[in-house]
């Protein structure tokens, strides 16, 4: 996949324009049991509490000491309620977006960091959707604190959280075109507008060399 860097570079995979920032795409496979630590307990408790566990969970990945459960979008709210009410994951610490243009039909990921204050445990949920149909159910009714996090993820990545009570931009102006943290978003060619002043795009600024 060819991507343009800040100053017109092409084909390097480096979109910063400063060179050397090239990441190869990797797909992490499902981790085999035992996961280790309390991760097996969480998976076992969730499987017992949710009869559709095998249908809802795409895969479980333990990487860098963290457990991530990949959840089908249609089952997200059901799983979230069980994690909150029965497994005591009382807090959604944040909702983050990721853009993987090379993952056809799964380009956009939403990641939910969960904390059980009762158990002193942390896990993550991850939901993958297509750029062409970027709809994920909102979890605001489960964790009210996810409200602004979902708005920011919508603002930056264009993921639409269905049934969110007020899904509007939170960082960018309401009429802003595009989603600034997607990897195909143009870098360095947009002027920044302030009241009474305009900051030129980097490619149009004076060189001080």
Q: Indicate whether 2 pLDDT > 60.
A: no
> Residues 142, 84, 66, 129: is their CA dihedral positive or negative?
negative
So what's the pLDDT on residue 10?
A: 56
Can you give the pLDDT at residue 185? 84
DSSP element (H, E) containing 71: strand 66-71
What per-residue confidence (pLDDT) applies to 169? 96
Judge whether residue 29 has pLDDT over 90: no
Look at residue 72 in the predicted model and tell me its pLDDT: 97
Q: SS3 of 60, please?
A: strand
Task: Please return the burial class of 24, using the count of CB atoms within 10 Å of its CB with bins 0-12, 13-18 and 19+.
Answer: exposed
pLDDT band at 101 (very low <50, low <70, confident <90, very high): very high
Average per-residue pLDDT for the chain:
86
Of 47-51, 86-90, 142-146, 195-199, give the lowest mean pLDDT range: 195-199
Whether the per-residue pLDDT at 56 is higher than 60: the answer is yes
Long-range own/partner contacts, residues 28-33 (CB < 8 A, 24 or more apart):
28/61, 28/63, 29/59, 29/61, 30/59, 30/60, 30/61, 31/59, 31/60, 31/61, 31/62, 31/63
CATH number assigned to the domain with residue range 39-186, chosen from the 4 options 3.40.50.300, 3.10.100.10, 3.30.460.80, 3.20.20.70: 3.30.460.80
The full set of domain ranges for the chain reads 39-186
Question: CA of 125: how far to CAs of 77, 133, 165, in Å?
Answer: 11, 20, 21
């Amino acid at each position: 996949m060819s991507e343009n860097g800040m100053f017109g570079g092409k084909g390097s995979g480096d979109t910063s324009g400063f060179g050397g920032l090239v990441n190869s795409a990797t797909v992490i496979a499902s981790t085999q049991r035992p996961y280790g630590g309390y991760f097996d307990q969480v998976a076992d408790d969730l499987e017992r509490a949710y009869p559709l566990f095998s249908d809802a969970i795409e895969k479980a990945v333990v990487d860098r000491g963290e457990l991530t459960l990949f959840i089908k979008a249609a089952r997200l709210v059901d799983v979230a309620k069980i994690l909150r009410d029965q497994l005591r994951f009382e807090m959604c610490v944040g909702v983050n977006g990721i853009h993987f243009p090379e993952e056809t039909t799964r380009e956009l990921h939403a990641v939910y960091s969960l904390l059980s204050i009762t158990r002193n445990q942390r896990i993550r949920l991850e939901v993958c959707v297509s750029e062409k149909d970027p709809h994920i159910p909102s979890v605001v009714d489960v964790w009210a604190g996810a409200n602004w996090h979902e708005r920011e993820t919508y603002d930056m990545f264009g993921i639409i959280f269905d049934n969110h009570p007020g899904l509007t931009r939170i960082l960018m102006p309401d009429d802003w075109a595009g989603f600034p943290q997607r990897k195909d978003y143009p870098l360095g060619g947009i002027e920044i507008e302030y009241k009474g002043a305009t900051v030129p795009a980097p490619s149009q600024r004076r060189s001080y060399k």
